[in-house]
A and B are shown apart, each in its own frame.
Chain A
Amino acid sequence: MNSSPSYININKEWDIVAARQLARDMSKKLGAGTVDQARIATAVSELARNIYLYAIDGKIYIEAIEKMERRGIRIVAEDNGPGIPDISLVMEDGYSTSGGLGAGLPGVKRLMDEFNITSEEGKGTIINTIKWVR
């Protein structure tokens, strides 16, 4: 029963709010607890903000999934931005090119259950994450 993904275009700061509201609503519908709701909303916030800050334009897909009796929420962040030259560097805590805390991507990895990132320089970045709802 995989429902079709909804997505939000990210190109303004307020789109970040729209994306995480959608994620929160969907996780609520799936029966996630308040802590998981907060984790999912925060992860979406980070991913959307990365798009807004570095790629300027991109999409956040939010989808309810079901696999082997488990239900969860899949969040895909996709952009056609400059790409990430060294992925292992951005997955390090404290690395930031924008003067931020540098906790965004490693934080998302810890907030979610599955995390997968592919990036090509000059082409863009795709981050695929799943949170299973207990």
Chain B
Amino acid sequence: MDNNLKRIVIDNSESIVSMWLKEISLLKEYNHTAGISKESFEVTNREFVEVIFISLKNQGSMETVQKFSEKIIKLGWPLSYITDGLQVFRRVTIDFILKNTEQVDTDQFSTILESVDLWIEPIIRELVNEYSGSWEHIVSLQRVALQELSAPLIPVMEGITVMPLIGTIDTERAKLIMENLLDGVMQHNSEVVLIDITGVPVVDTMVAHHIIQAAEAVRLIGAKCIVVGIRPEIAQTIVNLGIDLGDFPTKSSLKKGFMTALEITNRKIIDLDSKVEHTKNIIESLKGE
């Protein structure tokens, strides 16, 4: 029975394909493929339906399906196109078989439904798996990339290190900040660490708490922590919240913080020009004598 049905479908592939193409183009507006050009839509449709038939003929071989899914994922076609396409194929095929069989009783009807499902389901499963697999892969890559960006430590000069923070701080990131900060202080032998929060959009009690803890831990291992990049609106919300950041120095900008760090490490920036000017003055005054 099953083979018989399959023969009907394969023998009449032309008319099934044309029915399918007609139906699928009606769906173009609904499944996020509206932005795709007409030519490439038609080419992909042809290829898609061919892939379905090849898999049918080859007794569910998944090789062509895999190749097709790889290609279509690379091109960024939506998953809804695939699922819609296969649903339509199921409907069209069942329609066609029913129309071309004389007298269908309930038994036969359920056999037809079942065998068509058996052809379509492995293809759906394969394609959906390929799609979700590729998404999971991307998400895990991005997570790694984010983690690399989340708590960088930059040794600016002997004894002075900067940690610029950009974006939201969650529990996981707070942990990383603390670890990197302490490791970095030990490794670079820092005397002063500047934590720059210019790029942190919201400083709520949790973020403040983590910063306070990090600063306290840095103090315990013998270095000094300066929190810089406190924007005026953040300063106001911190006051509103009633958070006490009085245990360590804070500055509005990295520049000011860096100057303080230089002071702490007994250094200062000297303008070379004025130094030259100064020596010139001394020479001039010597000449006069």
Contacts and interface: CB of A to CB of B under 8 A. Distances in A.
Given A35-B232, A110-B241, A100 B170 contact: no
A111 interface: yes
A46 interface: yes
A1 interface: no
Nearest to A38: B233
Contacts of B236: 35, 38-39
Given A20-B202, A110-B242, A42 B237 contact: yes
B209 A38 contact: no
Chain A CB within 10 A, most for which of B170, B203, B205, B209:
B205
A39 B206 contact: no
Interface residues of B, number: 21
Contacts of B168: 17
B13 to A, nearest CB: 47
B101 interface: no
B262 to A, nearest CB: 31
A38 B234 contact: yes
A103 B170 contact: no
B241 A103 contact: yes
A39 B234 CA distance: 8
Contacts, number: 69
Given A20-B202, A38-B234, A41-B201, A107 B240 contact: yes
Given A17-B168, A38-B233, A111-B237, A100 B242 contact: no
Interface string B233-265: 110110011110000000000000000000000
Contact of A46 (B170, B201, B204): B204
Contacts of A49: 204-206
A101 B240 contact: no
B17 interface: no
A35 B204 contact: no
B242 A42 contact: no
In terms of DSSP, what is the predominant structure of the interface of chain A? helix
Contact of B209 (A14, A93, A101): A101
Contacts of A46: 204-205, 241
B171 interface: yes
B273 to A, nearest CB: 38
B208 interface: yes
Given A41-B201, A42-B204, A46-B205, A107 B171 contact: no
B200 to A, nearest CB: 11
A121 interface: no
A14 B170 contact: yes
B215 to A, nearest CB: 14
Given A42-B202, A101-B208, A101-B209, A110 B240 contact: yes
Interface string B170-206: 1100000000000000000000000000000111111
Given A38-B233, A38-B234, A45 B204 contact: yes
A42 B203 contact: yes
Interface of B: 168, 170-171, 201-206, 208-209, 212, 232-234, 236-237, 240-243
| Nearest 3 CB-CB pairings of A with B | A107-B241, A38-B233, A45-B204
Given A14-B170, A103-B241, 6 more contacts: A35-B232, A39-B237, A39-B240, A104-B205, A107-B243, A111-B241
13 contacts: A17-B170, A20-B202, A39-B236, A41-B201, A42-B241, A45-B202, A45-B204, A46-B204, A49-B205, A93-B242, A101-B208, A103-B242, A107-B242
